[in-house]
Amino acid sequence: MNDQLPGKELSKPQRLVEQALTTLQHFLHVEAISGIVLLAAAAVALLWANSPFAHSYHDIWNLPIPLRLGELGFVRPLHFWINDALMTVFFLVVGMEIRRETHEGALSKLDQAILPVLAAFGGVIVPALIYLGFNSVTGRSNGWAIPTATDIAFAVGVLALLGKSIPGNVRVFLLALAIIDDVIAVLIIALFYTSGLDFNGFIVAALGVLMALGLQRIGLGSAYAYIVPAFIVWAGFLMAGVHPTLAGVVLGLITPVRSNRPEIVPPVIRVETALHPWVAYGIMPIFALANAGVSFAGVELAGGAQFVTLGVALALCAGKPIGVIGATWLAVRTGWCRLAPDVSWGGVCLIGLLAGIGFTMSIFIAMLAFTDDKLLDAAKLGVLFGSLIAVTLGLGWGAEYAQRQRRESGD
C-alpha cells in the first residue's frame, strides 16, 4: 500500500512537496509585504528628488567609495556599488528561484510551464513593438526592452491586497509568468546590452565557477566559503564587459537542488530563504531609493524624450496585458494548452494587468539602455506612470474579480 499510515514519517516525495509548498508560501508572504516597502522607497526617492534638498539626493549617490586590496585600489561612486554589486545578490536570488522552479516548481514540467512561457513571450514582444512604434529612431530605439519585464514584488504585493478570494492557481500563474519574465530579461541584458567583450574576463569568471563547483563537490556547505568564488565570477564579468550582476544568475543556477544529507534542506532552498528577506526588504528598496528619484523640474520632454515616456508607459499598461492575454488566448484556442483549474479568463485578465507593473528590472534596463540623462529620466518617468496605471487597473479589476469569486463560492 502507498497510503501514509498515521504516526509514520513522511516519505521523501511528500517531504519534497511539503518543502516546495512551504517555500512558495514564504516567498509569496515576503513578496507581498516587500511590494509595499518598495513602493514607499520609490515615493521617498521622488519626494526627495523634488524637494529643496534635491542636491543632496544626487550628491549622496555620487559619493566615491573605494575598494582596496593591498596596494590595489578600485574607486566607484555609491550608485555603482548599489546597481552593479548589491544588485548581484538580487540576481542571485532570481537565479535560485529559476533553478528551484525548473526542478520542482511551476517550470518543472513542460505541460505546466508552456502556458506561462507563451504568455511571457507575448508580454515581451507586444510591449517592445509598441515602444518601437513611438521610438524607431536611432538612440531612442535602444530602450525597446525597458517595458518587457514584470516586477515580482509589486505584482505579488498588489495581488495580496486583493485578499484570499483570488484562486491559488492564479497566483502560481502570475508567479511563473514573472519568473519567466526575469529569465527573458536576463537573456536580453546578456545579449543586447553588453559590448566590447574581453574574453580574458570570461576565463576569470569560469575559474570562479569551477571553484564554486569544486567546493560543492567536496560537500562544503558554509555559504561564507563561496564568497571568494562569487567575487571572482563578478570581477570576471566586469572585466569581460558583461554586466557584473549576471554573476548572481550564474551562481544561482548552479546552486544544488539536492542535499547530501536527507535531513538537511537543499542548499537552493536554504540559501534563497535566508537571502530573500534581505533582498526584498533591503536591497530592492535601496535600489528604488537610489534610482526612482526623477526630478520633474529637470525632465525635458522635448526633442523626442516625450515619445520615450509615452512609449514606455503605454507599453507597460497596455502592451503587457494585450501580449499576455492575447498569447494565452491563442495558446488555449489552438489547443496547445489548457487553463489550470480555477483559472478563468477573468483571472487571466488580472494576471495581464498586473504584469504591466514594471519597476526594478525596467529601471535597471533603462540605465543600461541610455547614457543620455534626458532620455534616461524620460524612461524612468514612463516606468513610474505606466506602473501606476497598471496598479490602478489591476486593483480595480481585481476587486471586481475577487467579489465575483466570493459570490460564486457563496462566501
Phi, psi of 109 (to 5 degrees): -125, 140
Element (H, E) at 368: helix 360-369
Q: Are 77 and 62 in contact (CB under 8 A)?
A: yes
pLDDT for residue 249: 83
User: For position 23, what pLDDT does the model report?
Assistant: 58
What are the helix (H) ranges across 222-304? 227-240, 246-253, 267-278, 284-291
- Alpha-carbon span 386 to 155, nearest angstrom: 13
Residue-wise pLDDT tens digits, 112-163: 678 888 999 999 999 999 999 999 998 899 999 999 888 776 787 778 777 7
The answer as to CATH 1.20.1530.10 being correct for domain 13-193+243-409 is yes
- Reported as type and span, the H/E element at residue 212 is helix 199-217
Residue 156: predicted pLDDT: 74
Name every residue whose Cβ is closer than 8 Å to that of residue 357 and which is 6 or more positions away in sequence.
150, 151, 154, 155, 158, 316, 387, 390, 391, 394
Positions in the chain short of pLDDT 70: 1-32, 35, 70, 105-109, 111-112, 153, 195-196, 260-264, 298-300, 410-411
How close are the terminal C-alpha atoms of the chain, in Å? 38
pLDDT of residue 151: 79
Averaged pLDDT score across all residues of the chain: 82
In 3D space, the residue among 329, 379, 386 whose CA is nearest the CA of residue 355 turns out to be 386
- Return the domain boundaries, the chain: 13-193+243-409
**pLDDT at residue 25 in the model:** 58
pLDDT of residue 341: 79
CA proximity to 257, closest of 5, 23, 68: 23
- For 68, the 3-state DSSP assignment is strand
What per-residue confidence (pLDDT) applies to 408? 77
Residue 123 cell numbers, joined: 508580454
